[in-house]
A and B are shown apart, each in its own frame.
Chain A
Amino acid sequence: MNQVLSKPPSMQADLAACRRDFPALSLQINGSPLVFLDSAASSQQPNSVIDAVANYHRNSHANVHRGVHTLSHRATEAYEGARDVIAAFIGAGNRSEVIFTSGTTESINLVAQSFCRPMLARGDTILLTHLEHHSNIVPWQLLCDQTGAKLLVTPIDETGSLDLAIFDKQIAGGVSMLAMAHVSNALGTVLPLEHMISRAHEHGVPVLVDGAQAVPHMDVDVKSLDCDFYAFSGHKMFGPTGIGILYGRSEHLERMPPYKGGGDMILEVRFDGTTYNELPYKFEAGTPNISGAVGLGAAINYMKSIGMDRIAAHEADLLTYMTQRLSEIPGIRLIGTAKTKASVQSFLLDDIHPHDLGTILDHQGVAIRTGHHCAMPVMEFFGVPGTARASLALYNNRDDIDRLVSSLTKAKEIFG
């Protein structure tokens, strides 16, 4: 890569070596070295994760919690070992509060159906924010259809920040559940969780946090956040797809009925009644995604080896640089300019449709996301059908941003 010497020293040199851990970042795309700025959709995987999954399949695979034979024992140890790694990483009090799911989406559906559905009555209110990803909207709409409950939405302003004055009134007005993102996937806004969770709890409202866009970028401690539930996905934090986590406080999880029925979630099955297994297995019906869990554990070990503080500082530096470089391009419209942001910048350029931008950038090896980012209410608020979104991860550097900017300049040339 071309390193311009006049650039100010930054954290980038610090994490430069990490880039080599990700084989995908050496790919050539359409004749140019890949610049990957779509980690908010799914991040690339380091060798340590790819190897951990492959080694598991080579040396340790059998079903978990079932056999007395050696491989079953190894698989169980690998799977449960990953749970320990995850519990420690997010500061869960107890490993039984960490439930493996297929991802954030399933985690949220689990809470909606198992925790909320039994306690809701017609006319009850579920509070969301305008920033939510569809996966934190649609499960609640399904629940409303089932129970007669209704949704209430905290609005945002033109920077993409929540209107906290309205939130304070809403949360005090008799709400049964609060579900919100930690970081907005479309705009990068970091939500003021401390304030919102404490207000919610003052009014006895349980809180689910969608942490899919936070966990890869910052230190997350569920105990100090004091949330009731926290959901996230492996594939956005350098792990495999198809694996995710639901953290839940044990006093809730104990009382909740199973979400799915099947093997492994039972102690005893009779036709006249079944006794459910203890936590966390009560919520893990069927053979789980064992290799996914192993990969997620390896991803967390990788992130810990770098340090979440260093990752956060590196990305904050890069985001500032990206925002500054983008704002220098004539005709750019930055969407999402909240004071506290993480890793994401949405934008529009002149009147070029984001999809056309995406194609032109891809042609130059630059991968960004274009479209509504599964957050159509956010797009509607800004009156746009979609945006172009560049999102960062620990492996990005200033050269990536420079390539983004030069590719956008090319797009302007083509569209004249």
Chain B
Amino acid sequence: MYKMSTDELRELYRELILDHARSPRHFGKLPEVTHSADGLNPLCGDKLKLYLRIGDDDRIQDAAFEGSGCAISVASASLLTDTIIGMRPTEAQSFAGALIHRLTGKQTNVELGKLRALEGVREFPSRIKCATLAWHAMNSAIRQDKVPASTE
């Protein structure tokens, strides 16, 4: 009846995204947290808390998150925790920088791996913030900011 291309929607809601949204990994609190931060997306009410445990060896030993949000923000947070465990904080920050760069439509040489699944948001400008929220919160946690990370 109407022209309804669902390709872009399928790109946005890829199976990997839906899987992580339905069954988020590392969801919940973390014992022995060394770094944490809140992430707020006031536009849509996404709200998450990110926990990190950074060891004396300067590695992220564990990561977890709690909160509520849309499929994109939850999947992104879940993928984040999967990705950064084992990284040095500076590596995680530089990865976050490359990912945010990529999701906002710019080129990057960093290999994003399964995080490429988030690239569908580039066709949905109002949803980019959902995908980047957890990464801003992670940066904020590592920097030990006093105020919550916000997408606004």
Contact = CB atoms under 8 A, between A and B. Distances in A.
B130 A355 contact: yes
Nearest to A414: B13
A360 B3 contact: no
B127 interface: yes
Interface in A357-410: 359-360, 363-365, 370-372, 379, 385-386, 410
Interface in B129-150: 130
A174 interface: no
Interface string A329-369: 00000000000000000000000111110011001110000
A365 B9 CA distance: 13
B97 to A, nearest CB: 25
A271 interface: no
B5 A31 contact: yes
Contact of A359 (B10, B47, B68, B126): B126
Contacts, number: 63
B18 interface: yes
Contacts of B1: 2
A102 B63 CA distance: 47
Interface residues of B, number: 26
A382 to B, nearest CB: 13
B10 A385 contact: no
Interface residues of A, number: 24
A32 interface: yes
B71 interface: yes
B44 A33 contact: no
Interface string B5-35: 1101110110000100000000000000000
B2 A371 contact: no
A371 B9 contact: no
B8 A363 contact: yes
- In order of increasing CB-CB distance, the 7 nearest A-B pairs are A355-B70, A353-B70, A31-B3, A355-B44, A32-B2, A385-B45, A386-B45
Interface of A: 2, 31-33, 352-356, 359-360, 363-365, 370-372, 379, 385-386, 410, 414-416
